[in-house]
Amino acid sequence: MLASPTRTIPALLQSQRDFFATGKTLDRAFRLQQLERLQTAIVENQEKIVAAVQTDLGRAPFEAYFEIATLTEIKLAIKQLKNWMKPRKIATSADVFPASAWVQPEPLGVALIIGPWNYPFQLMMSPLVGAIAAGNCAILKPSEYAPSMSKVVTDLVESIFEPDYVAVVEGDAATSQELLAQKFDHIFFTGGTEIGRIVMQAAAKHLTPVTLELGGKSPCFVDGSVRLDYAAKRIAWGKFINAGQTCIAPDYLLVEASIKDEFVVQLKKAIGELYGENPAASPDYARIVNQRQLDRLKPLLASGKVIVGGEVNEGDRYLAPTVLDEVNWGDAVMESEIFGPILPIMTYNNLDVAIAQVKQRPKPLALYIFSKSQEYQTQITTAISSGGVCINDTVMQVAVSNLPFGGVGDSGTGSYHGKASFDTFSHYRSFLKRSIRFDLDWRYAPYNESRFKILKKMVTGK
């Protein structure tokens, strides 16, 4: 298949609108065919995908392979698409008797999907799976900060899809601004909160619905009831995969004061087990994506006291897995999402006070709790709102394909994964169908006392 010919963004968008208007995407067989083609292309290009992630982010092949997890989403969509597309019957009330009602999912039209640089393939393709399954056309904008992956995405998409159906537009921030100036039927953005605000403002001009997958400072509570060695290793892994450049990485720890010293021992041990005494030499430890991000992270090392890591090698874009002790809420590292391999530890003696501190800040994307106590877990989850919750582990909540993933408040709006992806890119259209065989006249003028009594009984039940 030939690559997309050069054309302006408005022309590309119009060509997709024209294709959508043909009705071809309404057919389930068509959607399944496109999903299967995408699945085959990912399998055939998996080595290129892994290599691109290694080039852009220095990730180990094992972590780079996380990008291929989109295959799980595709398999689920193929298996469940028939059920997802079925109309859903709705019970009717006496005032419309006799009648039937149902809700039927319909595609929105043309979607814009703007991807991030930290998981540059998975977080571009997973929303695309939902857009295709729901019957939409799509324009993809990969991140310019992951140029190797941007090229892989472009080549892959152009090899299997006509640009009138699914297309890729590469470019920098100016390209994103031009795309956002157009009227789409849905915009799906993954990235930082500040850019998310810009996306939402642009969408508001056209009343375009948006899904914003953002981030935030995801807290991680640890109490003394849990196995500290297990907790430490799961926290270290979730924090330091991809050198901390993960939107749902635990951002900071709130550790019960009485176990803090022992927990720090276990955390240091866990980091050593993962990356050795010199993480810079570990083949399993990633790098910061670019100098700009490294420059943003370096000043945060001055917050509190470095008890693990802290080393920086600018030429290699290396920032060691770092743990900060003696951190306060007012320190720079606590002002915004870290999005890097720096883990602050704070302690608490009173859980209610710790919870109150967290609640003073924007709602996080993830909330982590390590405890055996159901009461402790419930106390935290009841008090603190978050996009999602993971108890006694980190990050693995995204591995459950049927579990909707998304933020709340500053951490995002809307969700996806599994059926939630299908729902995100669908309009659930309501239908009411009434019988024309006879007509009850209770609602028609001229109104009288008898008809008023019937209406009153329908509304109040009396």
Residues 457 and 140: beta-carbon distance below 8 Å:
no
pLDDT at 43 over 90: yes
Q: Cα separation of 415 and 212, whole Å?
A: 8
pLDDT (tens digit, 9 = 90+) per residue, 424-457?
A: 999 999 999 999 998 888 888 998 999 888 888 8
Sorting pLDDT into bands at 50, 70 and 90, what band is 3? Answer: very low
Tokens matching residue 68: 């291929």
pLDDT at 4 over 70: no
Mean pLDDT of 363-369: 97
pLDDT at 355 over 50: yes
**pLDDT given at position 457:** 87
Q: Which residues of the chain are in CATH 3.40.605.10 domains? A: 9-214+415-427
pLDDT (tens digit, 9 = 90+) per residue, 210-223?
A: 999 999 999 999 99
**pLDDT given at position 440:** 86
Question: Taking the CB of residue 201, how many other CB atoms lie within 10 A of it?
Answer: 10
Element (H, E) at 412: strand 412-413
pLDDT at 21 over 70: yes
Sorting pLDDT into bands at 50, 70 and 90, what band is 461? Answer: confident
Going edge to edge, which strands form the sheet with 342-348? 305-308, 322-325, 342-348, 252-256, 219-222, 366-370, 388-391
Mean pLDDT of 6-21: 94
Sorting pLDDT into bands at 50, 70 and 90, what band is 323? Answer: very high
Enzyme catalytic residues: 213, 247
pLDDT at 2 over 80: no
DSSP letters for 158-196: HHHS-TTTEEE----HHHHHHHHTS--SEEEEES-HHHH
pLDDT (tens digit, 9 = 90+) per residue, 274-299?
A: 999 999 999 999 999 999 999 999 99
Mean pLDDT of 229-250: 97
pLDDT (tens digit, 9 = 90+) per residue, 98-114?
A: 999 999 999 999 999 99
First to last CA, the chain: 68
Mean pLDDT of 398-419: 95
Sorting pLDDT into bands at 50, 70 and 90, what band is 6? Answer: low
Q: What percent of the chain has pLDDT over 70?
A: 99
7 against 173, higher pLDDT:
173
SS3 call for 462: coil
Residues 73 and 131: beta-carbon distance below 8 Å:
no
| Amino acid identity, position 444 | Y
Q: Cα separation of 220 and 411, whole Å?
A: 16
**pLDDT given at position 7:** 78
DSSP letters for 328-382: -TTSGGGTS---SSEEEEEEES-HHHHHHHHHTSPPPSEEEEE-S-HHHHHHHHH
34 against 444, higher pLDDT:
34
Give the CA distances from residue 91 to residues 85, 87, 101, 411, 433, in Å, rounded to whole numbers and listed in that order.
19, 13, 7, 36, 12
pLDDT (tens digit, 9 = 90+) per residue, 150-190?
A: 999 999 999 999 999 999 999 999 999 999 999 999 999 99
Closest CA to 321 of 365, 273, 364: 273
Sorting pLDDT into bands at 50, 70 and 90, what band is 462? Answer: confident
CATH of domain 219-402: 3.40.309.10
pLDDT at 412 over 60: yes
Give the CA distances from residue 422 to residues 129, 426, 427, 446, in Å, rounded to whole numbers and listed in that order.
8, 6, 10, 47
**pLDDT given at position 1:** 32
Average pLDDT, the chain: 95
Mean pLDDT of 5-33: 94
User: 9-214+415-427 has which fold?
Assistant: Aldehyde Dehydrogenase; Chain A, domain 1 (3.40.605)
Tokens matching residue 422: 């299908």
Q: In the block, which residue shows the tokens 């935030």?
A: 216
Q: Which residues of the chain are in CATH 3.40.309.10 domains? A: 219-402
User: What is this structure's pTM?
Assistant: 0.94
Strands 312-313 and 318-319: antiparallel
Element (H, E) at 280: none
pLDDT at 458 over 90: no
